């Protein structure tokens, strides 16, 4: 038998090399497509080349993630999810873990957390790791606190320092909280777009396209996006702006469309609904506008950086961790629509500032916010949990 390495870290890697790959079951219970689902696929894609880990995804049957997985070469299984705590779903978790020697469960959303914790009451499930992808506070309810402090959750991966700070208010063991930024993939980027925006909407060459990619949820605060359009187009007479928004429609959409009619913005605003691979629209945007009232860090900003589209954003969640006002983007407080509008005007009128933002943001995302780094840091957490601390 070979002599054991003296360094504990090297010893644990020696042990891991002697074992089979860690089999991770990723659990997602969302039915829509957003940044969280994008993160999950990016993570599994990056880990493909790692011999020390095997990934299987469990997702909601016939949801958007399931639709996407049908077109890709990932290992996945599905279960029906008709309501939040669907017996069929957590039975699937338990049976799959038992039959496939799962070493670790990676939970990717709050509903998946509820299902997994419930399933552990019937099955002796493996240890768990949780990704906290938003900066929403954990509700101060007994059952909610129980879930986030569940004994088998060994690590909580926070998408930003702000997310870690907010999560820490309700998590008893602070040592569980780790910050791993999601970032964006650098490979397989294509500028080809499913829609030619200028041709589709008959835009003149001098028109500034202000873009946003987000599903129609309250937290994205797309009413503010329209209020900014109203300030610039109607109040200030800046008819050279055109606002494009791509994201899955919801019950919020009717309110947004009503506001467009009331503000007479139909000639200056377009809603595209869900667009597959929506980031391919980004090279056509002149400026990216984020009006969210809460965020972890939106994937849309990372993608804008990569495609060198300057960003104007609200200063919420972890956004100030990647945008320094005046250095590589412009920030305003949430619902401060006048400041957001002024930031758009200032940026449009200052080509030198645009170029500076493009260069600095692209450099930043390439150095610090790639999904390869995210995957390597996540794999480190997997090994700590399965093989022990080092």
The predicted structure's pLDDT at residue 277: 87
pLDDT of residue 4: 43
3-state percent helix, strand, coil for the chain, nearest multiple of 5 = 45, 15, 40
| Packed helices 337-348 and 351-368: angle between N→C axes, nearest 10 degrees | 100
Q: Which domains does the chain have, with CATH numbers?
A: 8-183+370-387 (3.40.50.2000), 197-368 (3.40.50.2000)
CA distance 272 to 259: 16
pLDDT value at residue 3: 42
**Edge-to-edge strand ranges of the sheet holding 287-290:** 269-271, 241-246, 208-213, 287-290, 311-314, 330-332
Per-residue pLDDT at 389: 55
pLDDT in tens, the chain (390 residues): 344 444 545 545 554 554 578 999 999 999 999 989 999 999 999 999 898 899 999 999 999 999 999 999 999 999 999 988 899 999 999 999 999 999 999 999 999 999 999 999 999 999 999 999 989 999 999 999 999 999 999 999 999 999 999 999 999 999 999 999 998 988 666 667 889 999 999 999 999 999 999 999 999 999 999 999 999 999 999 999 999 999 999 999 999 999 999 999 999 999 999 998 899 999 999 999 999 999 999 999 999 999 999 999 999 999 999 999 999 999 999 999 999 999 999 999 999 999 999 999 999 999 999 999 999 999 999 999 999 853
């Amino acid at each position: 038998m070979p002599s054991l390495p003296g360094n504990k870290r090297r010893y644990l890697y020696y042990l891991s090399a002697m074992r089979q790959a860690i089999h991770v079951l990723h659990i997602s219970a969302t039915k829509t497509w957003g940044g969280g689902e994008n993160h999950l696929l990016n993570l599994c894609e990056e880990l493909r080349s790692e011999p020390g880990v095997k990934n299987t995804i469990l997702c909601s049957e016939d949801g958007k993630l399931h639709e996407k997985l049908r077109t890709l070469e990932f290992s996945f299984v599905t279960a029906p999810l008709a309501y939040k705590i669907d017996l069929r779903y957590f039975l699937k978790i338990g049976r799959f873990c038992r039959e496939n020697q799962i070493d670790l469960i990676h939970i990717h959303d709050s509903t998946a957390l509820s299902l997994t914790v419930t399933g552990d009451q019937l099955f002796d499930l493996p240890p768990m790791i949780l990704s906290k992808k938003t900066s929403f506070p954990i509700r101060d309810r007994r059952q909610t606190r129980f879930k986030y402090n569940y004994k088998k959750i060994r690590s909580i991966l926070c998408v930003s320092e702000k997310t870690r700070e907010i999560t820490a208010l309700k998590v008893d063991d602070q040592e569980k909280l780790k910050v791993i930024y999601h970032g964006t993939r650098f490979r397989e980027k294509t500028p080809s777009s499913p829609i030619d925006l200028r041709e589709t909407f008959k835009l003149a060459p001098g028109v500034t396209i202000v873009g946003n990619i987000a599903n129609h949820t309250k937290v994205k605060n797309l009413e503010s996006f329209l209020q900014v359009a109203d300030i610039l187009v109607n109040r200030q007479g800046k008819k050279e702006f055109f606002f494009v928004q791509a994201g899955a429609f919801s019950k919020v959409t009717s309110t947004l469309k009503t506001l467009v009619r009331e503000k007479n913005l139909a000639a200056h605003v377009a809603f595209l609904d869900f667009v597959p691979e929506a980031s391919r629209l980004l090279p056509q945007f002149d400026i990216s506008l984020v009006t969210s009232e809460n965020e972890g860090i939106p994937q849309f900003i990372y993608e804008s950086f990569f495609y060198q589209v300057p960003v104007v954003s609200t200063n919420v969640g972890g956004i100030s961790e990647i945008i320094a006002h005046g250095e590589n983007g412009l920030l305003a407080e949430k619902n401060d629509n006048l400041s957001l509008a002024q930031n758009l005007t200032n940026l449009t009128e200052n080509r030198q500032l645009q170029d500076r933002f493009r260069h600095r943001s692209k450099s930043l995302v390439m150095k610090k916010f790639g999904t390869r780094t995210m995957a390597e840091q996540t794999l480190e957490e997997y090994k700590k949990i399965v093989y022990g601390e080092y």
